[in-house]
Structure formats: structure tokens, C-alpha cells
Amino acid sequence: MSDVIVPKNSRPVDSNFGSPLEPIGNPLTAGIGPGAWADRADRPDLTIKGAARIVPMRVATDFFVAHEDPDPRGLDVKGMDGVVGAKVTEIWVDRSEPGVRYLEATLPDGTTRLFPAPFLTVPRPSNWLPFMSPSPSATHVQIHVLKAADFSNIPQVKTADLVTLLEEDKISAYFGAGSLWNSELRFGPLM
């Protein structure tokens, strides 16, 4: 059993070999379970032409928001607790596989963070049908895995217009950790 390597920021839940690990300290930054990340290259992913692949629309000026979709820029970002913790300032797109990858949001302290698109929803009225109705006015962006107070600990990017492969993994890991450890209903036995 001396060959078992237990990552820092974690401990086994009991003394049995192979028992699951639990985080020590802040579970969203412990780097284990759904919050684990790979130590990928600390450089941006590139397009086939050598340009940064994932960039804000202020850089990818040939991208736009379709008129059928709400533009999230200027909307509040609410955490799973219903508290507003940020305001969307920019959309980050993927130049190789066109689509939204992140929303950039400004926190009350003036710093910015990236919010991965798979963890976001823009609530719409329940009676809205996309093929029969104009796009409704959105009022906010909803995050279902983080509380507003957690926003300030989302890993930051080093460069305003680039995100590296390592930064992407750490940001996604933070949200992944929130999907498990931010609610008592999401982990542990259900019996």
C-alpha cells in the first residue's frame, strides 16, 4: 500500500485500499474527481492556419450573433443560489468548429472570468417555440453548478484575448467540481 500516491489536497475516505478520495479544503480547487484536470500545454490551441482557435468576438470580428438568438452581452450572470455575481461582457468563439465556447463576464471587483458554454443556460419562457416565435428578451444567464460567491475563484486567463489548453482544463475542472460538491444532493449515498 505504500505505492499508492494520494494527490495533495485530498485524502482517502477510509483505510481500505482503493477507497475514494475526498477533497481537503475548497473542493472546487482541490483538483480531484470531477474537478481534476490534465497538465496540458500552457499554450493556445491553434487553427490549421496557426491562429489562436478560441478567441473573443472582439478578435474574431467575422463572427456575429444570429438575429434569432439572444445576445448575452450585458446580461447578469446568476449562480445556482439565484444571486447575481457577474455581468456578461463578451462571447468567446471557436474558429475551427464555429460555436460559442465561453462567455466572458466581469465580476463586481472589475476582474473577468470565462464561463464554459456547456454550464450556461439563457432562460426563455416555457411557451417559447423557436420555429414559431421571435427570440424573447433574455434577462440573465444562469449557472447551475456554482454559487455567485464561487465566481471569484474561477481560474483566470493570463492573456486577455487568449486561453491556453491548460487554462481551459482548469476552468472546466472548476465547474465540474461544482457540479458535484456544490450541493449535498449530488454526492453520497441516496438510500
* DSSP state letter for 159: B
Cβ-proximal residues to 50 (8 Å cutoff; 6+ apart), any chain = none
Coil/strand/helix, residue 173: helix
Largest CA distance in the chain: 64
The helix/strand/coil state of 72 is coil
Could you tell me the CATH superfamily of domain 10-185?
Photosynthetic Reaction Center, subunit H, domain 2 (3.90.50.10)
Whether the model pTM is above 0.85: yes
Spans of all domains in the chain = 10-185
Instruction: For residue 183, count other CB atoms closer than 10 A to its CB.
Output: 13
Alpha-carbon distance of 65 to 117, in angstroms, equals 14
Task: Going residue by residue through the chain, which has 191 residues, state the pLDDT in tens, using 9 for 90 and above.
Answer: 456 677 788 888 888 888 888 889 899 999 888 899 999 999 999 999 999 999 999 999 999 998 878 889 999 999 999 999 999 999 999 999 999 999 999 999 999 999 999 999 987 656 555 555 555 567 899 999 999 999 999 999 999 999 999 999 999 999 999 999 887 766 666 55
